[in-house]
Chain A
């Protein structure tokens, strides 16, 4: 059984990403969308938390939301995968359940 977790809040504004990382079971996927995409950037005060979580979880980030915010893909933590809207749909299909951390 696998869960697709979505996080749409900035990790600097809310603790949604922290809660997700703490409570997501091993093997799960985390998709960062909307303001959540800032959590995928390297060199921030939250980067270590994400890098640690990547031992157990696969991280994705929604490309159009990155572009809108001017975040260059080169600024992402190594290993975070960029998906487009159809990639989002695929993730939803590939996982049994979805959990939206608001």
Chain B
């Protein structure tokens, strides 16, 4: 794969209740290993994936919320969260994990990966992609 494409992964499911969120995360990491231009969107119940304070000890299953913090290492640093979805769920940016990446082109300055966008803005971002994956 020599040509770099714009890949967009769209997450619409809450974590743990179904396997979609974890499956998506794995596919994102695999895609990133092939050094594509990766973006990830969180809409509808997908926004719950990024909620901070997740603790699965009581369920005896893997707490993969920690893995989102590794996305920066994989150069996946365009995480779009739809504002309308947050609003409907009574959530704000403060309820989400602070996900950061180091910008190699800016003296490794630490920057936020999460960008809260409106439905309209997100529609335009989707429009610019070459490959879209839905989870």
Q: Do chains A and B touch in the complex (CB under 8 A)?
A: yes
Which residues of A line the B interface, CB within 8 A?
8-10, 12-13, 34-35, 38, 41-45, 47, 63-65, 67-72, 75, 84
Instruction: Flag B36-73 by CB within 8 Å of A: 1 or 0 each.
Output: 00000000110010011111111101010100000000
A12-B17 in contact given A63-B58, A69-B54 (Cβ < 8 Å): no
Q: Are B48 and A38 in contact (CB under 8 A)?
A: yes
A44 engages B88 (CB within 8 Å): yes
The stretch among B8-16, B98-106, B107-115 that forms the contact with chain A is: B8-16
Whether B54 lies near A68 (C-beta < 8 A) is yes
Contact among B18, B51, B53, B59 for A64, CB-based, below 8 A: B59
Chain A residues, CB < 8 A from B90: 41-44, 47, 75
Task: Tell whether B6 is near chain A: CB-to-CB under 8 Å.
Answer: no
| A39 to B15 CA separation, bound complex (whole angstroms) | 15
A63 to chain B, nearest CB (A): 7
Q: With contacts A38-B89, A44-B89 known, is A9 near B17, CB below 8 A?
A: yes
- Chain A residues whose C-beta falls within 8 Å of the C-beta of B65 in the assembled complex: 70
Query: Contact: B54 with A70, CB < 8 Å?
Result: yes
CB<8 Å pairs between A and B, sample of 13: A8-B17, A13-B13, A13-B14, A13-B44, A38-B14, A43-B90, A44-B88, A65-B58, A68-B16, A68-B55, A70-B53, A70-B54, A84-B58
Give the residues in chain B near A63, CB-CB below 8 Å: 58
Question: Are A70 and B45 in contact, with the CB atoms below 8 A?
Answer: no
